[in-house]
Amino acid sequence: MKLIEREYLKELISVIGTPDIKVITGVRRSGKSKLLEEFKNYILQNVEHSNIIEIDFNSLDYENLREYHRMNEYIEKRYIKEKKNFVLIDEVQMCEGFEKTINSLHTSEKYDIYITGSNAFLMSSDLATLFTGRTYEIEIFPFSFKEYLKYYCDSNMDEAFNKYVREGGMSGSYLYKEEKQKYKYILDVYNTLIVRDICQKYKIKNTELLDNLTNFMMDNISNITSIRNITNSLNRIDNTLNHKTIGSYIDYMTNAYLFYKVKRYDIQGKKYLESQDKYYLVDPTFKFAKLGTKNMNYGRVYENIVAIELLRRGYEIYVGEMYHLKVDFVAIKRNEKIYIQVSDNISDDSTLEREVNSLLQIKDAYPKILIARTMHDTYQYEGVQIYDIAKWLLE
């Protein structure tokens, strides 16, 4: 498979030598193993006096290390005192009791440790309880549009964007030529994520309910909803469901990086709101692979793409509310705040005015932007910056 250098490599390089346990997380098949491989090559070429101790549990060569005492013994035997010792472990959860070895190695202060693991077994919420030492998490997302262009060396931005909307950022699918083959690959990733990972970790027997729930959530990306509303909708299929079960299943899927929950934010009162949220897919192609592409709502797909891009760029995102008006995103990063509205087509004057109106009602001085498929250069409308979505994704 063709490799491109991703921005995450720079982040890994920047934390070389720090005492933290570096943990690479993200949805299955998003490129965690490839990133670790790139990082290994960087060390070999650029770090003098380095000693790399590598374990790849995807390979049968390391099958005998799937018990923490054996893994610990293997690493300690390969330690070289006069060198900088790097420990690189891929799919660490395949070693039973792995956290005991990682904690012991970290305590010794002899190793620079980097690990990846299955998204369902090495989640952000688990890191504090698994590891007694400090962790530094690097969350990997599927390919951005910028990376998609880089991969295909495509000079026609607009044509490439139309393909990206349907093909998404799961780069493993790029090896297949036909759209049907690409979606089959994506569906296989989904089935592994749901059936093998989530069901195995949480001992879920009702896989049909989990599948119905994901179908419903995929069909309602970018809609404001609540656990109770989802439960009521699914009760039409199975009237024995309760909102606690549905809430737990949704938590499992967000913990596994399949969905991202976005809370509401009261712009006027400057406070966070409870009970109703939005959910976005880590990549819209999971929806296309499962539910098909008929009756495509491009506005929702664009909104999903923008949501993931904002997370990729390090923003916290919220759904903005003020009186009876809603703003798709309030994006916050340290002292920076941006109000963002996303639309499909704003060539109609009434649509443009409706989308801009929500932004113009916000009277503070933070930037306000509207992202749509304009096919034009960026321009201003009454102080609101209007971006073509393809160009905005390439900023």
CATH code of the domain in which 77 resides: 3.40.50.300
Query: Span 89-101, mean pLDDT?
Result: 93
In percent, the amount of the chain with pLDDT more than 90 equals 68
Q: Are 152 and 127 within one domain? A: no
Structure tokens at 92: 């660490």
Rg (CA), the chain: 23
Q: Tell me if 366 is assigned to some domain.
A: yes
- How far from 43 is each of 8, 224, 375, CA to CA, in Å? 15, 46, 43
pLDDT, residue 200, reads 86
The rounded distance, in Å, linking the Cα atoms of 313 and 9 is 15
In percent, the amount of the chain with pLDDT more than 70 equals 96
Q: Are 152 and 118 within one domain? A: no
Q: Tell me if 115 is assigned to some domain.
A: yes
Phi, psi of 22 (to 5 degrees): -85, 120
Q: Are 280 and 366 within one domain? A: yes
Q: Tell me if 291 is assigned to some domain.
A: yes
Last residue of a domain, one of 101, 116, 140: 140
Q: Are 98 and 158 within one domain? A: no
Q: Tell me if 306 is assigned to some domain.
A: yes
Q: How many domains does the chain have?
A: 2
Q: Are 294 and 203 within one domain? A: yes
> Is the pLDDT score of 269 beyond 60?
no
Q: What is the pLDDT confidence band of residue 273, given thresholds at 50, 70 and 90?
A: low
**Which of 70-84, 190-204, 292-306 holds the top average pLDDT?**
70-84
> Is the pLDDT score of 97 beyond 80?
yes
> Is the pLDDT score of 271 beyond 70?
no
Between 187 and 326, name the one with better pLDDT. 187
Last residue of a domain, one of 140, 173, 188: 140
pLDDT tens, position by position, 160-195: 999 999 999 999 999 999 999 999 999 999 998 777
pLDDT, residue 186, reads 96
Q: Are 130 and 151 within one domain? A: no
**Which of 105-114, 286-295, 312-321 holds the top average pLDDT?**
105-114
Q: Tell me if 325 is assigned to some domain.
A: yes
> Is the pLDDT score of 83 beyond 90?
yes
pLDDT, residue 272, reads 59
Q: Are 172 and 215 within one domain? A: yes
pLDDT tens, position by position, 203-257: 998 888 999 999 999 999 989 888 888 888 888 877 778 889 999 999 999 988 9
- What angle (nearest 5°) sits at the alpha carbon of residue 331, between those of residues 329 and 332? 150
pLDDT, residue 121, reads 72
The dihedral sign for the CA sequence 22, 26, 30, 33 = positive
* Three-class secondary structure of residue 96 per DSSP: strand
Q: Are 151 and 128 within one domain? A: no
pTM summary value: 0.92
- How far from 253 is each of 23, 116, 123, 218, 335, CA to CA, in Å? 19, 19, 11, 12, 31
DSSP string, 372-386: E---S--EEETTEEE
Q: Tell me if 367 is assigned to some domain.
A: yes
The rounded distance, in Å, linking the Cα atoms of 287 and 183 is 10
Q: Tell me if 2 is assigned to some domain.
A: no
- How far from 284 is each of 208, 260, 263, CA to CA, in Å? 21, 12, 20
Last residue of a domain, one of 82, 117, 140: 140
Q: Tell me if 1 is assigned to some domain.
A: no
Identify any residues that bridge with 262 across adjacent strands, giving them in sequence order. 278
Q: Are 60 and 176 within one domain? A: no
> Is the pLDDT score of 322 beyond 80?
no
Q: How many CB atoms lie within 10 A of CB 27?
A: 25
Nearest to 217 by CA among 240, 194, 183, 189: 194
Q: Are 120 and 171 within one domain? A: no
The rounded distance, in Å, linking the Cα atoms of 207 and 80 is 48
Q: How many CB atoms lie within 10 A of CB 266?
A: 15
Residue 270 is part of which domain span?
145-393
Q: Are 99 and 160 within one domain? A: no
pLDDT, residue 12, reads 96
Q: Are 152 and 91 within one domain? A: no
> Is the pLDDT score of 355 beyond 90?
no
Query: Span 54-71, mean pLDDT?
Result: 96
